[in-house]
């Protein structure tokens, strides 16, 4: 208790950053091993796609459950449980494939446990940061999500160096060592102060005591439609991000003919670095940037990046497309959270959980569909990337629609105030 009394929201933010580093770890360490799993355990490309789908299906399930039950749960206990599950999942990845008769079943069990931890982290950490007593909410949210990118980059680079020095055959040892990170996060959330959101009961600034029933109904319908658009935008953000992120290593190795070390550095690492730069820059300079316009432009840049990766005649240019995709999707996920918290005033943890659900639906659909398209096309990921263009294209349409609704809502509020 004495330690808790000396800590402030700054230490809470640091613990939240560890949470997003942990989420990056449980999502991005397994893809570095997909070819190893295929060689060592005889997994097919469809089985690898199933592991990706299982990761995000588990997170999706946790999002759905959290949207129902999290209001009555302790933020602190949820955060601690999330990190414990992530640590157990990483340890399970190291030992379960050799303990069970079917290595694939062992990997599935470990994936589900780690995915439960990652899903809880996604649901609980963002509302914690939104509730912290900081002035720049949008910048803080983007900076938080940048730690996912730095975690993805660190996971890829540190793992690559480990494999070069000690060999791929020791990947189980590295998985066990990585479990230390979520263990540290669990301990941190035992002591840091935890803040809760206080959802505003007003609907778009309209309360039942100031309006007629018909006006209340119209405001609620408009709010539901706005939420639906944000939900779709989260789907687009998750799908556009993970369709490239989850297959970048395989794309670099198989499609472009580079070795694993160079492929991991130039594929997932370049993607993560550019995404981290985008989120960190916005987090530090958010007050000077129009977030709605940036979201629309980012979706447009994402379209270009997928075209480059899929159609470039030279491997190096295709890898540039992978990195450009990371830059373009960087702001989409945290930016959608921030736009929703402003445009739908009074967001509570259930709203964040439902938006996370939409994002994880995209994270499930994007790489799974890309893997299936590649399977149908003889393992050619270029065709998968061409198909994945539907996600950023839809993102542009939805982002523009949300901007128009925001402008219309602002106009109505001005008329009302007069």
CATH number of the structural domain spanning residue 361: 1.20.1250.20
Q: Provide the pLDDT confidence category of residue 10 given band limits of 50, 70 and 90.
A: confident
| Tens of pLDDT, residues 59-102 | 878 878 877 776 667 889 999 999 999 999 999 999 999 999 89
Write down the pLDDT at residue 207.
41
| Residue ranges making up the domain that contains 177 | 2-191+209-404
Assess if residue 412 is contained within a domain. no
Q: CA-CA distance, 260 to 257, in Å (whole number)? A: 9
Annotate the chain with three-state secondary structure. CHHHHHCCHHHHHHHHHHHHHHHHHHHHCHHHHHHHHHHHHCCCHHHHHHHHHHHHHHHHHHHHHHHHHHHHCCHHHHHHHHHHHHHHHHHHHHHHHHHCCCHHHHHHHHHHHHHHHHHHHHHHHHHHHHHCCCCCHHHHHHHHHHHHHHHHHHHHHHHHHHHHHHCHHHHHHHHHHHCHHHHHHHHHCCCCCCCCCCCCCCECCECCCCCCHHHHHHHHHHHHHHHHHHHHHHHHHHHHHHHHHCCHHHHHHHHCCCCHHHHHHHHHHHHHHHHHHHHHHHHHHHHHCCHHHHHHHHHHHHHHHHHHHHHCCCHHHHHHHHHHHHHHHCCHHHHHHHHHHHHCCCCCHHHHHHHHHHHHHHHHHHHHHHHHHHHHCCCCHHHHHHHCCHHHHHHHHHHHHHHHHHHHHHHHHHHHHC
Number of domains in the chain: 1
Structure-block tokens of residue 406: 């925001």
Assess if residue 47 is contained within a domain. yes
Assess if residue 203 is contained within a domain. no
Read off the pLDDT of each residue in 272-286 and give the average, rounded to a whole number: 87
Assess if residue 261 is contained within a domain. yes
| Tens of pLDDT, residues 335-381 | 898 888 888 776 677 788 888 888 888 987 888 888 888 888 877 77
Q: What is the pTM of this model?
A: 0.77
- In this structure, the number of other CB atoms found within 10 A of the CB of residue 14 comes to 14
Assess if residue 213 is contained within a domain. yes
| Tens of pLDDT, residues 386-414 | 999 999 999 999 999 999 988 876 655 55
Read off the pLDDT of each residue in 262-277 and give the average, rounded to a whole number: 78
Q: CA-CA distance, 279 to 277, in Å (whole number)? A: 6
Q: Provide the pLDDT confidence category of residue 210 given band limits of 50, 70 and 90.
A: very low
What is residue 355's three-state secondary structure? Answer: helix
Strand partners, 248: none
Give Cα separations from 346 to 172, 185, 203, 208, 402 (angstroms).
45, 29, 8, 15, 18
Answer for the pair 304, 274: CB distance below 8 angstroms, yes or no: no
Assess if residue 202 is contained within a domain. no
- Radius of gyration of the chain, Cα coordinates, nearest whole angstrom: 21
- The burial class, CB within 10 Å (0-12 / 13-18 / 19+), for 137 is middle
Assess if residue 44 is contained within a domain. yes
Q: Distance of alpha carbon 404 from its chain centroid, rounded?
A: 26
Assess if residue 106 is contained within a domain. yes
Show Cβ contacts of residue 42 under 8 Å, excluding neighbours closer than 6 positions: none
């Amino acid at each position: 208790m004495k330690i808790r009394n000396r800590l402030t929201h700054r230490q809470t933010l640091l613990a939240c950053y560890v949470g997003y580093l942990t989420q990056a770890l449980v999502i991005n360490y397994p893809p570095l091993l997909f070819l190893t799993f295929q060689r060592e355990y005889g997994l097919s490309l469809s089985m690898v796609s199933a592991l990706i789908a299982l990761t995000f299906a588990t997170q999706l399930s946790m999002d759905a459950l959290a949207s129902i039950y999290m209001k009555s749960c302790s933020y602190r206990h949820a955060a601690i449980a999330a990190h414990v599950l992530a640590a157990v999942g990483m340890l399970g990845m190291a030992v379960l494939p050799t303990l069970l008769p079917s290595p694939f079943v062992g990997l599935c069990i470990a994936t589900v446990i780690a995915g439960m931890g990652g899903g809880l982290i996604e649901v609980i950490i963002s509302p914690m940061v939104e509730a912290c007593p900081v002035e720049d909410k949008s910048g803080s949210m983007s900076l938080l999500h940048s730690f996912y990118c730095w975690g993805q980059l660190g996971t890829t680079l540190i793992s690559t160096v480990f494999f070069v020095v000690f060999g791929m055959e020791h990947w189980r040892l590295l998985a066990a060592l990585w479990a230390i990170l979520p263990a540290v996060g669990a301990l941190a959330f035992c002591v840091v102060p935890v803040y809760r959101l206080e959802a505003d009961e007003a609907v778009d600034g309209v309360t039942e005591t100031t309006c007629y029933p018909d006006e209340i109904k119209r405001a609620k319908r408009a709010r539901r439609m706005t939420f639906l658009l944000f939900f779709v935008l989260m789907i687009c953000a998750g799908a556009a991000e993970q369709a490239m992120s989850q297959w970048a290593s395989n794309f670099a190795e198989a499609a472009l003919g580079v070795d694993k070390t160079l492929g991991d550095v130039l594929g997932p690492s370049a993607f993560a670095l550019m995404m981290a730069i985008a989120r960190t820059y916005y987090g530090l300079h958010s007050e000077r940037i129009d977030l709605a316009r940036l979201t629309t432009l980012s979706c447009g840049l994402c379209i270009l990046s997928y075209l480059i990766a899929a159609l470039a005649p030279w491997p190096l240019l295709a890898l540039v497309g992978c990195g450009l995709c990371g830059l373009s999707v960087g702001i989409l996920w945290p930016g959608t959270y921030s736009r929703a918290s402003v445009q739908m005033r009074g967001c509570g943890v259930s709203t964040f959980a439902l938006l996370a659900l939409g994002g994880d639906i995209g994270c499930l659909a994007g790489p799974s569909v890309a893997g299936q398209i590649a399977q149908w096309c003889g393992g050619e990921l270029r065709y998968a990337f061409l198909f994945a263009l539907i996600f950023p294209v839809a993102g542009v349409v939805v982002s523009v629609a949300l901007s128009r609704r925001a402008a219309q809502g602002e106009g109505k509020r001005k008329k009302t105030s007069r």
